[in-house]
């Protein structure tokens, strides 16, 4: 009797889980060639920021790891995702700290709230430079309220602070919630993909985009790797 019950429960679990099949696409982003040397940033004109960095930080246009790993690549489902257009209710946060943008690459859904905070003791101006969305430019002195914004069209947008010309970040405005930014050695993972055909796009701010097609049939993890050709300059 007891064994029958256990078997029945197991069977039910199996049936339920097969109804909620979800695959994962994961992999690594790497580069070939020699990436441009990332230069140390001279923050001496902004002492309140300079003192926050024991050693000068470098530019973050290309962030690499061991074995030719490439970080800060936005990997996302560019077509095929069933829940395109579902705007998350929680905001994403972009922080200005030590005269740096944290994170360097920030991904958000179209129409998702973007909160920009200034944790520094200096004034910054937040100047995202979209081509498709609307451009604006706001000052944010220390201790002022977060700036709230959103973008209604998908686009990769460079962000800068005109006061501190070394500050540079990227917004990736996507129409999907299936995305990741490669990190910790170029790794990325796109979980919770129901069975279907997908196009996965990888975007790097300097090296451009690549795509790969992948089919998820059930509870499986498909490996997709991207290799970008590094630009020497």
Partner 1 sequence: MRFIGAILFTTIPCAAILGLIFAAGFAVRAFAQEAPEVGPKPPIVIKPMESHIGNITGHAEAAKSDYRRYCAGCHGEYGDGNGENAVWLDPKPRDFTLAAFKCRSTLTGTLPTDEDLFNTIARGLTNSNMPVWNTFTKQQRADLVAYIKIFSPRWEKEKAGEPIKIPAEPPVTMDSIAHGKALFTKLECWKCHGTHGEGDGPSASTLTDSKDNPIRPYNFAAGKADSRFKCGNTNQDIYKIFMTGVDGTPMPSFADVIQPNDAWDLVHFLRTLQVNRHGKENEVLSAAHGVIPPYVDRTPAPAAAPADNKAPGGGQ
Residues forming contacts to partner 1 in the complex (CB under 8 A) are 45, 122-123, 125-127, 129, 134-141, 144-145, 147, 162-165
How far, in Å, CA of 43 to CA of 171, rounded? Answer: 23
Q: Which is nearer to partner 1, 58 or 123 (CB)?
A: 123
Strand duo 69-71 + 92-97: pairing: unpaired
Distance, CA of 95 to chain centre = 14
Q: Which is nearer to partner 1, 162 or 215 (CB)?
A: 162
Q: Which is nearer to partner 1, 112 or 140 (CB)?
A: 140
State the nearest-atom distance from the C-beta of 13 to partner 1, in Å. 51
State the nearest-atom distance from the C-beta of 165 to partner 1, in Å. 4
State the nearest-atom distance from the C-beta of 187 to partner 1, in Å. 34
State the nearest-atom distance from the C-beta of 93 to partner 1, in Å. 17
Q: Which is nearer to partner 1, 173 or 216 (CB)?
A: 173
CB–CB of 116/96 below 8 Å?
yes
Which pair of structure tokens corresponds to residue 149? Answer: 């914004």
Neighbours of 123 (CB within 10 A): 14
C-alpha triplet 72, 220, 65: angle, nearest 5°:
25
Paired strand residues for 75: 180, 202
Which pair of structure tokens corresponds to residue 95? Answer: 């922080």
Neighbours of 20 (CB within 10 A): 9
Q: Which is nearer to partner 1, 53 or 127 (CB)?
A: 127
State the nearest-atom distance from the C-beta of 118 to partner 1, in Å. 10
């Amino acid at each position: 009797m007891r064994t029958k019950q256990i078997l029945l429960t197991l069977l039910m679990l199996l049936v339920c889980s097969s109804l909620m099949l979800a695959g994962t696409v994961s992999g690594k982003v790497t580069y070939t060639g020699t990436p441009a040397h990332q230069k140390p940033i001279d923050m001496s004109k902004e002492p309140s920021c300079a003192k926050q960095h024991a050693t000068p930080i470098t530019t973050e246009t290309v962030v690499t790891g061991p074995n030719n790993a490439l970080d800060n690549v936005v990997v996302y489902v560019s077509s095929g995702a069933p829940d395109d257009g579902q705007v998350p209710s929680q905001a994403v946060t972009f922080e200005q700290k030590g005269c740096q943008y944290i994170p360097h690459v920030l991904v958000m859904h179209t129409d998702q709230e973007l909160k920009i905070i200034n944790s520094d003791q200096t004034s910054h101006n937040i100047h995202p430079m979209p081509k498709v969305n609307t451009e604006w430019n706001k000052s944010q002195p220390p201790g002022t309220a977060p700036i709230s914004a959103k973008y209604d069209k998908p686009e990769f947008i460079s962000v800068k602070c005109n006061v501190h010309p070394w500050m540079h970040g990227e917004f990736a405005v996507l129409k999907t919630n299936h995305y990741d930014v490669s990190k910790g050695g170029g790794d990325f993972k796109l979980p919770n993909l129901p069975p279907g055909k997908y196009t996965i796009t990888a975007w790097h701010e300097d090296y451009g985009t690549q795509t790969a097609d992948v089919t998820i049939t059930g509870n499986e993890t498909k490996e997709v790797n991207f290799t970008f050709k590094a630009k020497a300059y």
